[in-house]
Every structure is written in structure tokens, then in C-alpha cells.
């Protein structure tokens, strides 16, 4: 296992094309200057010891030095030993509503972005709990299986949008049913499903899914995003709003928060409901509940004692730099006999 301590130094490799361009321009200028002062063959006879190939060799050495120094600054690190770490936590699955109604802007910047922000801020507070992500609209789809990799969770979270699922609706029942397949640890006592939705346009028949979740000791907590007054649903062209969704009568559709449905889901599953319109309040609500739950211990394999490897790159870079100093523009007899460039 390895990691890169300072990956931003890879940008130094951009010096390579810059050096090549500069070298090409220098050769062009040099030829023009030589042609201005005299015939090239005459100049060659006047300086017979000047090597034609040494400048190219020194260029290759310079490029190698740049590559090695850049990699040394990146500092690859290798894990020297595998360590078992005891952790404890609960399993949490976030189910995010990605129906078009979540684009409504009665919560800034919109309902979906507020839902994603709540999850992101909750991840900042978690330590060793396992998390998973489900998205749903007209259908429910898995996005991230149960994991402790919060970095991967943030990556998946960033890419969630209303275009992920073409069929519209709010299949909360299907999302709950999918979540029952997420929890892969039979010994985990506390399993938490967090549904973040406006609850509107929901499909029927969610009672069976709730009962199944309750049988598997899954507590469903719901966060309602939006307002009771409602807001129009923007129609987007990429990132640009081009209007609002309209019904068959050419009236602007108003989407409203269905908090009653979300409260019923939480109550039937022995969970809790809270408003998700405030990011800080929502995160505090979730963390209070998570911290109050009994944690399960589990082992995690980690690579410990990462060792720096920059010295194996820096040493040859310094040797090449020293070699470059001692390579003169004059011809070297033994180098000439090698005939490296076949001339």
C-alpha cells in the first residue's frame, strides 16, 4: 500500500514541455545567428572540438532531473506494516430523494443541494461509523455500499443530481426495501436509515417496506426538506434555469413539503422526524441520535508507519545534476567512440 504525501508537485512536470519549447527556440536562434556570421561548415572547421551531440545529451539529463525532483517532492510513501485497529460504530444508510421537485428553491440553494450539504457535514462529524448512500426518484438505486471510506462517500455525493434517475416519482418504499439489503452485518444492533426528501409525489405501498425494516431492527429517521407553502420546480438546461415546470393547463406546478408522510414513516419504524431546512440543526439532530446508540466493535485493517521514499528519487537526481556539471561542450574521445547517436 502506498500514498502520495504532496501530489500537487506533479504540476512541476509541466516544466518539461516548456523546456522542450525553449530548447527548440534556442536551436532556431542559434542556427540563424551562425548563418549570419558565416558558413556553417567554416564555423565547424574553426571549432572542430565542439560537440554536436552534447547539448542534446544535457537536455535529456535536465529532463530526467526535473522528473526525478518532481517525484521526490511528491514523496511516495509505502506502508511498512499492516495493523489491525479496533473500531466501533453504527451502520448508517442515507437515502436521498433526487426527483425533480428537489430542485425547488424554497430552501437555498435548492432542496437537493441542502440535502447533500447535510450529509457532507454529518460525515465531518462521524469517526468510525459505516455509511452507505441510496438515491431514489421513480426507482431506487444503490450509489455507495456500506463503507468507512468517507472520501469515496464525498466523491459519490458530489456527483448526485436529478438526472441520475430518468423515471420521476418518489419511491420511498423501494428505497426502504433496498436499504434492508444494505446492512450486511447480522451482529450490528443499531441500523439507521436516514431518508432526506420533500415527501411529495410518493408511491403507494410503503407499509410493507417499513414493516420489513422494523423486523430487521432498522430505525428510519426522516428529514423533511422544503416548505409547506411550496415553490415552483425549475426547468434546467445544464446549469441554467430556462423556466418552471407547468401542468397540462399551462399552470406553474408548485411543490410542497409533505411532512405528514415523513412523520408517519419515522413513527411507524420507531424512528424520528426533523426538519432538514437548517443544516446545523439537522446535523446536530443526527449526531445526538447516533451518539446515543450502542456501538458495535469491528476490526479494520490499516497500513501503519508509512515510510518516505523520496530519497530513492533525490539521489539519482543529484547524481545526474553532478554529471551534467562535468559534461562539457567539447568532444570526448571515448564518448565519440561509443557513437550513441549514430553519427
Q: What is the largest CA-CA distance in the chain?
A: 98
**What is residue 161's predicted lDDT score, i.e. its pLDDT?**
92
H-run or E-run covering 223: strand 218-224
Q: Do 24 and 93 fall within a single domain? A: no
Judged against a pLDDT cut of 70, whether residue 212 lies above it is answered with yes
- What pLDDT, on a 0 to 100 scale, did the predictor assign at position 188? 64
Q: At what angle do helices 172-179 and 207-215 cross, to 10 degrees?
A: 20
Per-residue confidence (pLDDT) for residue 339, from 0 to 100: 56
48 belongs to a structural domain: yes
- In this prediction, residues 273-291 reach a mean pLDDT of 95
State yes or no: pLDDT of 5 exceeds 80. yes
Q: What's the predicted TM-score (pTM) here?
A: 0.63
Q: Are residues 207 and 263 in the same domain?
A: yes
**What is the domain range of residue 23?**
2-75+309-338
Same domain, 282 and 321: no
pLDDT at 46 over 60: no
Q: What local confidence, expressed as pLDDT, does residue 31 receive?
A: 79
Residue 267's CATH number: 3.40.50.410
Reduced DSSP (H G I as helix, E B as strand, rest coil) percent helix, strand, coil of the chain, to 5? 45, 25, 30
Task: Give, as one character, the DSSP assignment of residue 105.
Answer: -
The total domain count for the chain is 2
Nine-digit cell at 282?
A: 439537522
Q: Would you call 94 exposed, middle or buried from its count of C-beta atoms within 10 A (0-12, 13-18, 19+)?
A: buried
Assigned domain for 119 exists = yes
pLDDT of residue 89: 82
Q: Tell me if 333 is assigned to some domain.
A: yes
Which among 37-46, 126-135, 274-283, 314-323 has the top mean pLDDT?
Answer: 274-283
> Does some domain include residue 14?
yes
Same domain, 274 and 151: yes
Q: What is the SS3 assignment for 116?
A: helix
Same domain, 154 and 286: yes
DSSP state of 313: H
What's the rounded mean pLDDT across residues 263-279? 94
Q: Is there a single domain that holds both residue 333 and residue 262?
A: no
- Grouping H, G, I as helix, E, B as strand and the rest as coil, residue 151 is helix
- Regarding whether 237 and 148 lie in a shared domain, the answer is yes
Residue 108 shares a structural domain with residue 12: no
Quick one: average pLDDT of 150-161? Answer: 92
Spell 250-268 as b/e; 16+ CB within 10 A means b.
eeeebbbbbbebbbbbbee
* pLDDT level of residue 53 (50, 70, 90 thresholds): confident
Is residue 200's pLDDT more than 70?
A: yes
Peptide bond into 109 cis (omega under 30): yes
Residue 40: pLDDT band with limits 50, 70, 90: low
pLDDT bracket for residue 295 (50, 70, 90): confident
Judgement on whether residues 55 and 107 belong to the same structural domain of the protein: no
In a domain, 169, yes or no: yes
In a domain, residue 314? The reply is yes
Coil, strand or helix at 306: strand
How many helices (H) does the chain have, and how many strands (E)? 11, 13
117 and 234 within one domain: yes
Is the pLDDT assigned to residue 133 strictly greater than 70? yes
Would residue 343 count as lying in a domain?
Answer: no
pLDDT of residue 206: 87
Same domain, 295 and 321: no
Q: Are 66 and 168 part of one and the same domain?
A: no
**What integer is the mean pLDDT of 24-42?**
75
Helix axes 54-74, 15-37, angle to 10 degrees: 160
Asked if residue 80 belongs to a domain, the reply is no
Model pLDDT, residue 134: 96
Amino acid at each position: 500500500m502506498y500514498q502520495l504525501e504532496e501530489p500537487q508537485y506533479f504540476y512541476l512536470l509541466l516544466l518539461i514541455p516548456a523546456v522542450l519549447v525553449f530548447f527548440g527556440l534556442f536551436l532556431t536562434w542559434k542556427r540563424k545567428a551562425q548563418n549570419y556570421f558565416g558558413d556553417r561548415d567554416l564555423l565547424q572547421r574553426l571549432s572542430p572540438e565542439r560537440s554536436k551531440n552534447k547539448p542534446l545529451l544535457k537536455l535529456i539529463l535536465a529532463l530526467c532531473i526535473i522528473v526525478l525532483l518532481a517525484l521526490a517532492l511528491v514523496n511516495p510513501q509505502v506502508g511498512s506494516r499492516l495493523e489491525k485497529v479496533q473500531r466501533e460504530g453504527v451502520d448508517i444508510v442515507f437515502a436521498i430523494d433526487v426527483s425533480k421537485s428537489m430542485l425547488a428553491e424554497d430552501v437555498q440553494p435548492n432542496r437537493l443541494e441542502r440535502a447533500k450539504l447535510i450529509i457532507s457535514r454529518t460525515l465531518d462529524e462521524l469517526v468510525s461509523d459505516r455509511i452507505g448512500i441510496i438515491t431514489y426518484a421513480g426507482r431506487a438505486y444503490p450509489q455507495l455500499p456500506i463503507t468507512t471510506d468517507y472520501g469515496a462517500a464525498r466523491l459519490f455525493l458530489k456527483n448526485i443530481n436529478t438526472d441520475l434517475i430518468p423515471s420521476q416519482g418518489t419511491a420511498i418504499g423501494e428505497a426502504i426495501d433496498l436499504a434492508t439489503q444494505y446492512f450486511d452485518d447480522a451482529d450490528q444492533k443499531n441500523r439507521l436509515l436516514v431518508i432526506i426528501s420533500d415527501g411529495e409525489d410518493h408511491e403507494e405501498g410503503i407499509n410493507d417496506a417499513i414493516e420489513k425494516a422494523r423486523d430487521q431492527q432498522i430505525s428510519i429517521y426522516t428529514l423533511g426538506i422544503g416548505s409547506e407553502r411550496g415553490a415552483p420546480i425549475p426547468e434546467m438546461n445544464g446549469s441554467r434555469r430556462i423556466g418552471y415546470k407547468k401542468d397540462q393547463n399551462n399552470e406553474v406546478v408548485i411543490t410542497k413539503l409533505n411532512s405528514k408522510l415523513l412523520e408517519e414513516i419515522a413513527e411507524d419504524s420507531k424512528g424520528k422526524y426533523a426538519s432538514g431546512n437548517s443544516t446545523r440543526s439537522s446535523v446536530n439532530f443526527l449526531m445526538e441520535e447516533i451518539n446515543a446508540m450502542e456501538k458495535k466493535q469491528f476490526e479494520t485493517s490499516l497500513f501503519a508507519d508509512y515510510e518516505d521514499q523520496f530519497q530513492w528519487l533525490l539521489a539519482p537526481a543529484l547524481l545526474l545534476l553532478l554529471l551534467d556539471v562535468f559534461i562539457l561542450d567539447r568532444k570526448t574521445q571515448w564518448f565519440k567512440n561509443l557513437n550513441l547517436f549514430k553519427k
